[in-house]
Amino acid sequence: MKPFHLIINGRKVPTGRCFDVLNPANEEVAGLASLARKKDLDDAVRAAQMAFEKWREVPESQRQTACLKIASKIEENAEELARILTAEQGKPLNGLGSRWEVGGAVAWTRYTAGLSLPVKVLQDNDEGRVELYRKPIGVVGSITPWNFPVMIAVWHIVPAVLSGNTVVIKPSPFTPLSTLRLVEFMNQVLPEGVVNCIAGKDRLGAAMAAHEGIGKIVFTGSCATGRKIMANSAETMKRLTLELGGNDAGIVLPDVDPKQIAEGLFWGAFINSGQTCAALKRLYVHDDVYDAVCGELVDFARKMKIGEGTNEDVVLGPIQNRKQYGIVSDLVQDAKSRGHVLLGGDPGEIRKEMHGKGYFYPLTIIADLENGDPLVDEEQFGPVLPIIRYHQTREAIRKANDNPNGLGGSVWSRDIENAKRIANQMECGSVWINKHGMIQPNAPFGGVKRSGFGVEFAEEGLKEYTDIQVIFS
């Protein structure tokens, strides 16, 4: 099996050591990735530093053109990337799976390429002229998770490149293959050293956070890892953008049509088998419509086919890795003793269907839980949804806010203006009305409380990759 090598200074770099990347659908080796050492990290940073000296001087219009070329290169190789992604991550090719993710990466790149950060004139009068410049930081270190390896890599890399920075990216050791190949394609249209990719275990990320040659870290992942990155980067005073875990709450008001909202609720919670930071992870439903909403949601969920992602009729895949499978299993096992299982809850049947292979977990919906139950309080990051009954709107808002995380939330109602008033009381960075988790490249996205700081996307996200310089004349 031919390994996927590191990409440093525009070249494939073998390291002499590789690690296995498993397919979560069958627990077989999907591919081999070269294992980076500290020396490889140093080489990648050095290459990025050298490239930065020239790339920072390239006019913005030319950097925009380069980003458009990246989009075209991804599009040309979309099917290959999608198949690598399915093999290592487990998500299906079809539906909201690998092909959708790669297509989203293309669209996101093209939108971002159109952004601009012109000089801003703060003052121009008899007392003088004051101009604000947005200048690139230098080498950006990107650390990405295993749930959306291609999409999140694009979210990190493209705005960094557009704003004049250079990049060293380290993907999750669970899903490095698609990112290594993606960066290889990027290097076909970018100067050497502008984007570099190294692969390795978690300690490599810690070394990046502490590295003197990296000026900014952008990280998407768990709160626990985010705290470690903050600690490791403190000595060098790095700029940070941290998009951390979420435990998103949805509030269903009593005026809804349960049948009409069932599909939106389902995909809000179970997209990517629930392995999404901004997925719906706690659902608060008014007593008047509680039973009806539960019933419609269960009926809709029963129609969804789970299986190996290469099967064209599959819409949801496995949990990505054994550790996460164990977390989900433990939370559900505890919740079964506290609430009422409406669907799923027992992985034995689906594992039997898959001949005992893979980290498949059934779609699970558990009703009659409360705040304080682990499945409600903790981010499950899997195909499981707890449903909590409430009687008064202020009670639902209080319970939704009673969590240390604050990434996203949603309100479900026919009265849009009332829903907006409730949304404004929710303690989270994004709130959707009658949908959940539908992020867009033209809208800033980020969390509050322990869900991180800084934003991604749109002009506000692009500014995160710059330092301000003010010139008085």
What are the residue numbers of the active site?
243, 277
Dihedral angle computed from the Cα positions of residues 328, 333, 337 and 343, in that order, rounded to the nearest 10 degrees = 70
Provide the Cα torsion 275, 195, 35, 26; round to 10°: 30
- Tokens for 244, please give them: 């951390």
Q: By the 8 A CB rule, do 163 and 51 touch?
A: no
Using CA atoms, how far apart are residues 236 and 108, in angstroms rounded to an integer?
31
Of 130, 112, 105, 107, residue with least CA distance to 120: 130
Which pair of tokens denotes residue 432? 């959707």
246 neighbors 261 (Cβ within 8 angstroms): no
